[in-house]
């Protein structure tokens, strides 16, 4: 899955008139990856993550954000790549209507913003991203990024296995989200 993650950089994710060139992604394994949603096994929420590869795994988080992943493992084995950020290369008028207070570099900078830019919600879960659908699809990169310009580092916002360097991004690209380690959860008192 980390190899697939690297290859997704520079690819375009397309929804209707909106086209975004991917500049940052993050890989997640299944049973062997404690940062993965599927670490504890298959649930109704994670069922899509178990295949087939090429499908969208869309989840809702923090009660307000959607996140889009590409399923990458063989059928029955959970693995996915979170689409973290990108550059809007077509449909900017549609995206700015969805995100009116954002500057250009922030239109799809971060996984939740990327979903808003594309208009993606849970109804896209399970969509075949390789079938060429007008609704949502991934297309190959116009030009493959130079491997020397692809950086990797720790994953964002996870407390378990955060140090695994499965976050990949294009060096010096302004649309890449800022790295923020997860804040430890505070114990609640009653």
Please say if the pLDDT value at position 29 is more than 90: no
Q: Is residue 84 part of a domain?
A: yes
Q: Is residue 185 part of a domain?
A: no
Reported confidence tier of residue 45, pLDDT bands at 50, 70, 90: confident
Q: 132: cis peptide before it, omega within 30°? A: no
Please say if the pLDDT value at position 116 is more than 90: yes
**Between these two residues, 47 and 135, which has the higher pLDDT value?**
135
Amino acid 189: pLDDT: 62
Is-contact 179 151, C-beta < 8 A? no
Phi, psi dihedrals of residue 89, rounded to the nearest 5°: -110, -10
The CATH number of whichever domain residue 137 belongs to comes to: 3.10.300.10
Greatest alpha-carbon pair distance for the chain in Å reads: 56
Q: Is residue 19 part of a domain?
A: yes
Q: Is residue 66 part of a domain?
A: yes
Q: Is residue 186 part of a domain?
A: no
Q: Is residue 162 part of a domain?
A: yes
Tell me the mean pLDDT in the region 104-121: 94
- Show the domain range for 96: 2-170
Tell me the mean pLDDT in the region 63-72: 90
Model pLDDT for residues 146-175, shown as the tens digit of each residue: 888 999 988 887 878 778 788 999 999 999
Q: Is residue 32 part of a domain?
A: yes
Instruction: Determine which of 5-14, 57-66, 71-80, 132-141 has the lowest per-residue pLDDT on average.
Output: 57-66
- CA pair distance 186, 30, nearest whole angstrom: 26
Please say if the pLDDT value at position 63 is more than 80: no
Q: Into how many domains does the chain fold?
A: 1
pTM as predicted: 0.90
| H/E run at residue 131 | none
Please say if the pLDDT value at position 36 is more than 90: no
3-class SS at 169? Answer: strand
Q: Is residue 43 part of a domain?
A: yes
Reported confidence tier of residue 22, pLDDT bands at 50, 70, 90: very high
- CA pair distance 79, 27, nearest whole angstrom: 8
């Amino acid at each position: 899955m980390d190899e697939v993650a690297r290859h997704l950089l520079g690819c375009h994710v397309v929804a209707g008139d909106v086209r975004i060139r991917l500049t940052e992604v993050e890989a997640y394994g299944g049973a062997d990856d404690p940062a993965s949603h599927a670490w504890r096994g298959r649930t109704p929420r994670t069922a899509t993550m178990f295949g087939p590869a090429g499908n969208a795994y869309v989840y809702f988080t923090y009660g307000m954000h959607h996140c889009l992943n590409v399923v990458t493992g063989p059928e029955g084995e959970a693995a996915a790549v979170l689409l973290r950020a990108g550059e809007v290369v077509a449909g900017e008028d549609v995206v700015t209507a969805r995100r009116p207070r954002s500057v250009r570099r922030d239109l799809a900078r971060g996984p939740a913003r990327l979903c808003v830019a594309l208009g993606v919600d849970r109804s896209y879960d399970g969509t075949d991203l390789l079938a060429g659908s007008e609704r949502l699809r991934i297309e190959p990169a116009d030009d493959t990024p130079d491997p020397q310009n692809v950086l990797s580092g720790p994953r964002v916002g996870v407390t378990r296995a955060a140090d695994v360097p499965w976050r990949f991004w294009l060096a010096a690209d302004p649309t890449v989200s800022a790295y923020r380690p997860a804040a430890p959860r505070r114990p609640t008192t009653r």
